[in-house]
Amino acid sequence: MNILEKSMLFIPNRYSAHGKEIYVSYNISVIPEDMEVLSMKLVVTAHVPATGTLVLREIAHGWDEQYILKARPTCTEIKDTVAISGVKEAEFDLTRLSGPWRFDSHNNHGVYVGLESEGDASFLLEDPPYLLVGTM
């Protein structure tokens, strides 16, 4: 029997973008239980090339994209940072979150990404980040 690696692309089930901040979550509980997740990458894009630092935090509780500016969810301490220089796209390795997000989906509230930069780069609601999941 041949074992095949597959790639899955997920679009957000909740998403909010305001300037240099995004809040996003994905429902990966639909991945069949008999499949192993090999990798999980969050790909974020800015509307113009950016130079600075992207900061990733895990969202700690439920949130509603309609009320995000009035009631921002609590986030964990910094989980990851990515230095960027003149790019529109960057990625975070979220493989470590694949188990909790799949098998404890009620506690999967997604992630926050903030862009720390001096330029005009920002995130657009029309250009959501996507999640690439490699499985076997």
Predicted confidence at residue 79, as pLDDT, reads 86
- In this prediction, residues 72-80 reach a mean pLDDT of 90
Residue 23's domain is classified under what CATH number?
2.60.120.970
- Domain range spanning residue 69? 6-135
Predicted confidence at residue 119, as pLDDT, reads 84
- In this prediction, residues 111-127 reach a mean pLDDT of 93
Q: Supply the pTM of this predicted model.
A: 0.92
- What is d(CA 33, CA 128) in angstroms, rounded to the nearest whole number? 27
Whether 83 is in a domain gets the answer yes
Whether 1 is in a domain gets the answer no
Model confidence at 41: pLDDT above 60: yes
How many structural domains compose the chain? 1
Predicted confidence at residue 77, as pLDDT, reads 86
CA distances from 51 to 17, 108, 126 (A): 19, 30, 21
Predicted confidence at residue 78, as pLDDT, reads 82
